[in-house]
Amino acid sequence: MAMFASISSDPATIAAWLVAGLAFGWLAGKLTQEPSYGVMGDLVLGLIGGLLGGLVYGIMKDDAGFFGGVLIALSGAFVLVVAGRTVLALRGE
């Protein structure tokens, strides 16, 4: 029995994770106030968060399907953008 599930390496799924992360990073920048890393920073945080969210879920659970993977990527992007803004707020910037 395998300890971890296999990660879906389908290029369309990974591209969807990245697009979802970019979209959420942009949306977070538009909907929230300061502190912020700026538009590029929000996009990068969303992109990385979307990819990490999809990868971590792929390692821990079975394939959630295309739309489930996109929702998980959005969750990862949300967590990373919020964490980045929290770090800025704690630093007083």
Residue 92 above 70 pLDDT? yes
Give the integer Cα–Cα distance in Å for 24 and 75.
9
User: Cα(31)–Cα(39) distance, rounded to whole angstroms?
Assistant: 12
Mean pLDDT of all residues in 39-44? 84
pTM (predicted TM-score)? 0.73
pLDDT category of residue 1 using cuts at 50, 70 and 90: very low
pLDDT of the residue at 41: 84
| More reliable by pLDDT, 14 or 36 | 14
Domain ranges of the chain: 11-87
Structure token digits, residue 33: 């106030």
Residues 64, 57 contacting (CB under 8 angstroms): yes
